[in-house]
Chain A
Amino acid sequence: MNGYLNIALPKGRLGEKVYDMFERSGYPCPSIKENNRKLIFENEELKIRFFWVKPSDVAIYVERGAADIGVAGKDILMEYKPEVYELCDLNMGKCSMCVAGKNGFVDNRNKTLRVATKFVNIAKEYYSAQGRDIDIIALNGSIELAPILDLSDVIVDIVETGTTLKENNLEVVERFMPISARLIANKSSFKFKTEVIEDITEKLQALAEKL
């Protein structure tokens, strides 16, 4: 798209921290900090353009080329398996994909396990690797509620500190996948904007290693 490098950032606290990394790497876009309702922010001099999207949508923007690069959580990448390059681990937004249940939960293998989750594919893959028969309950939020109301036996979700779980008498049964934010790139864009994408990767990598 007319020589600009389009960058999709995840809306929210993580996205703001990631933007700071871009700024410190020499790719600033001051207008992004103005408090207004604009959706797209450009730096005409550097020919870069930032936009905020829902975190789970970043991978789609990048896969389909609306954004050349973007920052997405490993959870989203594992769930949707988009056809993109995964260039760098930004060492931020760290948490883990976990199985959690009520305090003292023991899996009864006689029964089909009811699993509530936002991450349907990850949960399926995790349990099918163990040959465990499960029933998936796809939810969009407040996953923790499911075992409390006996909607499910366990949940599969990302856990950062575990405070929400603890306050609701839930506990982690297993942490099975470390999660962090990743820099991703569209496969075609990478070929035509190699220099700038490689430069950004290198600089972000250097910053990430110091975290």
Chain B
Amino acid sequence: MDKILSVLTPEEYVYLSLRALYSEYGYKKYRMSKFEEYDLYAKNKDFLVSESAITFTDTDGKLLALKPDVTLSIIKNSKDINGVMKVYYNENVYRISKGTKTFKEIMQAGLECIGDVSADTIAEVLSLASKSLGVISENNVLTVSHLGVISEVLNYASISNDKKEQVLRLLGQKNLPEIKNLLSNENISDDKKELVYSLVTVYGSPEKVCDKLDGFAVSKEAIKCLGELKNVISVLKSENANVIIDFSVVNDMNYYNGISFKGFIEGVPTGVISGGQYDNLLVKMGKPYKAVGFAVYLDEISRVKGE
């Protein structure tokens, strides 16, 4: 056994450990074929991290694509779910690399819960995200946000729809100076502006941030969302997870809603885990379910783990 362990590359070791972790929690491995009909990706283009896919024509003339994403396929094939379908996957996906502008193969692992997703399911997924980070390195942090809170605050501040998108983009950059700039000519009270600014400045450990969160309780919906956020935070805290509340974790609201999160490892320049609730995507795809999940990007890990 030791002999086998000694030849594993860091990615393989991490992947096998993740697999053991996910099966322990009752998740089933999901296998998929290498290609899908291109139509699936064309319809949900903005959901994909990468702009385009490698396409080719099948013998019957159908346009196929090498999969740039796994989540869409899992959703497409989800039907007759009783309760919650819990799956995990480890697949190669094909995306455009930002540097070379050419396609590259990326190993991606991930986990999805689809169906009757409850608060407990969401908490379990976040706790598994945090444990996944722990498998890679102890020096990790899971940053958690709630899109519902952000959306309610922006509504309350009566920010027009065209500005909203810009505010969200700037929030993702923690770009306070530009947000101030953008709102400077808006006819909005200073209190409301300050509340929008605090989406950037309210950041840190739950202990540090907790009492500031109540400032966002601007509507019934916002109070409900804050409750959901506090629930997952308290579950994560009870497991001694390294967790940070950070509203700069924003995902496209056309697909995502509710809890959103990103996981980081010290020494890895980009996030290694990205996930959240994506009920809106299921609505778009005509599925009567709710969903939550995350992806783990294994390609950057070898650098921290060493050989």
Contacts and interface: CB of A to CB of B under 8 A. Distances in A.
Contacts of A65: 267-269
Interface stretch (A36-44, A84-92, A146-154): A84-92
A83 interface: yes
A191 B178 contact: no
A64 B98 CA distance: 12
Contacts of B204: 194
B173 A186 contact: no
Nearest to B139: A192
A191 B173 contact: no
Interface string B118-136: 0000000000000000000
A188 B139 CA distance: 11
Interface residues of B, number: 21
A151 B224 CA distance: 61
Contacts, number: 50
Given A86-B178, A88-B177, A191 B244 contact: yes
Contacts of B143: 191
B176 A87 contact: yes
Given A65-B269, A83-B270, A186-B269, A191 B264 contact: yes
A146 B37 CA distance: 47
A175 interface: no
- From B178, B265, B269, B270, name the one whose CB has the most chain A CB atoms within 10 angstroms: B269
A192 B269 contact: no
A187 interface: yes
Contacts of A83: 270
Nearest to B208: A194
Given A85-B248, A88-B177, A192 B141 contact: yes
A188 B177 contact: no
B173 A85 contact: yes
B175 A86 contact: yes
B269 A64 contact: yes
A187 B177 contact: no
Given A84-B173, A87-B174, A88-B177, A191 B141 contact: yes
What range describes how many residues of A lie at the interface? 20 to 34
A71 B265 CA distance: 24
Contacts of B244: 191
B266 A188 contact: yes
A188 B265 contact: yes
Interface in B221-271: 244, 248, 264-271
A191 B261 CA distance: 13
Contacts of B266: 188, 192
A42 to B, nearest CB: 19
A85 B250 CA distance: 13
A75 interface: no
Contact of A85 (B141, B174, B267): B174
A37 B176 CA distance: 37
Interface of A: 1, 63-65, 83-89, 182, 186-192, 194
Interface of B: 139, 141, 143, 173-178, 203-204, 244, 248, 264-271
22 contacts: A1-B267, A64-B269, A65-B269, A83-B270, A84-B173, A85-B175, A85-B248, A86-B174, A86-B177, A87-B174, A87-B175, A89-B178, A187-B264, A187-B269, A188-B265, A188-B267, A188-B270, A189-B269, A190-B174, A191-B141, A192-B141, A192-B266
Nearest first, the 9 A-B pairs at minimum CB distance are A65-B269, A89-B177, A85-B174, A86-B175, A188-B264, A192-B266, A86-B173, A191-B141, A191-B264
